[in-house]
Structure 1
Amino acid sequence: MKRREFLTAAAAGTVAATTVAAPAIAQSNPEIKWRLTSGFPKSLDTIYGGGEVFAKYVSEATDGRFQIQVFAAGEIVGTFQAADAVSQGTVEMSHTAGYYYVGKDPTFATAAAVPFGMNTRQLNAWLYHGGGGDLYNEFLAKHNIYALPGGNTGTQMGGWFRKEIKTVEDLKGLKMRIAGLAGQTMAKLGVVPQQVAGGEIYPSLERGTIDAAEWVGPYDDEKLGFHKVAPYYYYPGWWEGGLSAHFFINSAKWAELPKSYQAIVTAAAAAASGDMVAKYDARNPKAIQSLVAAGAQLKPFSTEIMQAAYAAAHELYAEISATNADFKKIIDSIIAFRDQEYLWFQVAEYTYDSFMIRGRRK
């Protein structure tokens, strides 16, 4: 065959191949539009922003063929209705914290945060490589939900108090805005848990309707000005050693996605998760300095309170486990993994951090 004839034939073959391949590509990468209802208000830009970062990555990785529109809590359904909205197919997915749904089943809280659970890195290790994600999805399948980790706040603060809290006795009768398993644990110490919406916390503290409130941490707390009405800022938030948000996806909708889209969603969720952790770690230091300068008084929970809360939390786990097999299966895995992790963390991480903290103070 002459050179000109070869090139002509090759070009014709290329055109034919393109004509055949184009429809196949379109079929394997369909145009999809989903709605994501967030469990968080837009004012919490770091944790709410996790949903936006996720949607951006999915869109860019699919050349805009997979669009996910993010709605703040309350725009479609409220925070506490997000799981049901996903389960029932009202929306395709949500970005939320599982512990909002302990009223449905306390097992929802396990992969989000439980009192005296794991820190951020340990929780991620359990979710991704310790069987935690699989256990959580085994439970969620009963509710037509598939979940992917969607960010972490890091260890949260212990909340804002109108008066100093030194002993367990000081907690008795205290009206505190705190919910879920943390609220049930506090109740064992004499606290009266209160359900108060985020926008109502400040006026409730100001009026004395409540005596204390937990929110998130310095970056998010500073915006709400709690230090003006409840100056004592306690730490650590032992009920949230590391809050893992999750992307809840309707199981049927997840199964409908092409494998390539499932891979993109999984990767985008992991990227958004890492981004959130980094943002909180970058923003909290300046915020806590600002709060102290504005009058916030940092106070550690006493050893007495920490030990009493630890005992109360594990007592609560035993009570729930006695009647809830799903909860028992996951909480047993969490406690075993947590204790094993601290064998390692005490050797290198804790020793290094302790030295560096002491050195910085010099």
Structure 2
Amino acid sequence: MKKSILATAVTLSLVTSTAVMADFDRVRWQVPMGFPSTLTALGDTMPEVARMISEMSGGRVTLQTFEPGALIPALGAFENVSAGNVPAAYSWMGYEWGQLPVSALFGATPFGLESQEFLAWMYHHGGDELLKEAFAPHNVYPILCGTISPEAAGWFRQEMTSLDQFQGLKFRAAGVGGEIMAEFGMSVTLLPGGELYQALETGVLDGTEFSLPTVDEQLGFFQVAKHYYLPGWHQPSTNQFLYVNMDEWNRLNDQTKALIENACMAGNAMALAKAEALQGAVLKRFEENGVQLHQYPEDILKAFEEATDRVMARRSETDPMFGKVYASMKAFQEEHRPWKNLGYLPRNWGVED
């Protein structure tokens, strides 16, 4: 009798397990990435999310990641997913600035939401719904899948002491931040991360922004530029997304969709924790290598903020979706401001000059 009961229990367990696994679609997607997987917190999040998805689905759902340029151009996630050339891709949102300007607000908003605020707005104040609305006409279903700490304001070959020095400066920037910098006469260009070291070394660029200190260290910028400016006013959060072709997404059942979206939520927590854990040690190493760390003075930050207001107003007037998303962000930022100001210790508390 005991053997019979045990055998029945094992059989039921196997049947139940098989039924649960069978509810996941069998998915085999190639997922090209906009960043090398070697870049800490920026490029290694999607491979980790893919690993989690495979493990939780018992191997039924496989997202095979590819390094930049292996399948599509490094900055080509949006257009290739939209056209159905690839089922999905992973990148910072904003490289499609020319085709879909509102995307840059989700990638990073100058003087906007920091990473934890961005998550709050996305999940609890309508941000994710606005994101889906903006991308639906382009046959793309975007999923927030990795948010990290602020970028630095940039690397410069010379010390920047006045606004006049920005005139004619050859600088790499992406998204709406680049348009704001152009307000000061900067010659702004967009290059992939892998091309920036040589551009700085040879003088093709006078300066560049790219990511947070960990990533900038890996790309070696400290070897060819010795002035590092903070804070990253143009990018207080850096947000990566899994772009999924809408036709591919609609073919999935609800359990598979939930698996992918929940794994990306876990990816957000993992990426932000990793980003915050590592930056202090990197800044110390920069100083040991002769880098001068600078904070922009209040007058320069104020000038950037005023330029931001002009650019955002101009864009909002000509692009209703841009205006709608930006208004939502600003409304949440204002609502959240008293808690942000009063609920936390001042950032300079206990910090010696």
Do the aligned residues in 2 keep the contact of 1:41 with 1:73 (CA within 8 Å)?
A: yes
Could you tell me the TM-score, scaled by structure 1's length?
A: 0.90
Counterparts of residues 180-195 of structure 1 (less than 5 Å): 180-195=175-190
Q: CA deviation at 1:138?
A: 0.7
Root mean square deviation of aligned Cα: 2.3
Residue number in structure 1 paired with 2:50? 55
Residue number in structure 1 paired with 2:81? 86
Q: CA deviation at 1:223?
A: 1.9
Equivalent position SS for 1:272: helix
Residue number in structure 2 paired with 1:354? 348
Q: CA deviation at 1:157?
A: 0.5
Equivalent position SS for 1:354: coil
Question: 2:238 aligned to 223, 234, 243, which one?
Answer: 243
Do the aligned residues in 2 keep the contact of 1:167 with 1:304 (CA within 8 Å)?
A: no
CA distance in 2 between counterparts of 1:339 and 1:237 reads: 20
Equivalent position SS for 1:48: coil
Aligned residues: 353
Equivalent position SS for 1:106: coil
CA distance in 2 between counterparts of 1:334 and 1:212 reads: 30
Alpha carbons of 1:211 and 1:255: their partners in 2 closer, same or farther (altered >3 Å)?
same
Do the aligned residues in 2 keep the contact of 1:168 with 1:304 (CA within 8 Å)?
A: no
CA distance in 1 between counterparts of 2:67 and 2:300 reads: 36
Q: Structure 1: which 5+ runs fail to align?
A: none
Q: CA deviation at 1:179?
A: 2.6
CA distance in 1 between counterparts of 2:80 and 2:31 reads: 10
Could you tell me the TM-score, scaled by structure 2's length?
A: 0.93
CA distance in 2 between counterparts of 1:264 and 1:282 reads: 27
Q: CA deviation at 1:189?
A: 1.3
Which is richer in helix? 1
CA distance in 2 between counterparts of 1:282 and 1:12 reads: 49
- Larger radius of gyration, structure 1 or 2? 1
Question: 2:313 aligned to 301, 309, 318, which one?
Answer: 318
Counterparts of residues 154-173 of structure 1 (less than 5 Å): 154-173=149-168
Q: Structure 2: which 5+ runs fail to align?
A: none
CA distance in 2 between counterparts of 1:16 and 1:226 reads: 60
Residue number in structure 2 paired with 1:141? 136
CA distance in 2 between counterparts of 1:72 and 1:124 reads: 27
Do the aligned residues in 2 keep the contact of 1:146 with 1:250 (CA within 8 Å)?
A: yes
Do the aligned residues in 1 keep the contact of 2:156 with 2:227 (CA within 8 Å)?
A: yes
After TM superposition, where is structure 1 displaced by more than 6 Å over at least 4 residues in a row? Answer: 10-23
CA distance in 2 between counterparts of 1:261 and 1:60 reads: 13
Residue number in structure 2 paired with 1:112? 107
Equivalent position SS for 1:299: strand
Q: CA deviation at 1:19?
A: 10
Do the aligned residues in 2 keep the contact of 1:155 with 1:237 (CA within 8 Å)?
A: yes
Which amino acid is 2:176 matched to?
Answer: L
Q: CA deviation at 1:184?
A: 0.6
Deviations 1:209-268 (A, max 9, x none): 221111112111112222232111000111100111111112222222221111111110
Question: 2:338 aligned to 337, 343, 355, which one?
Answer: 343
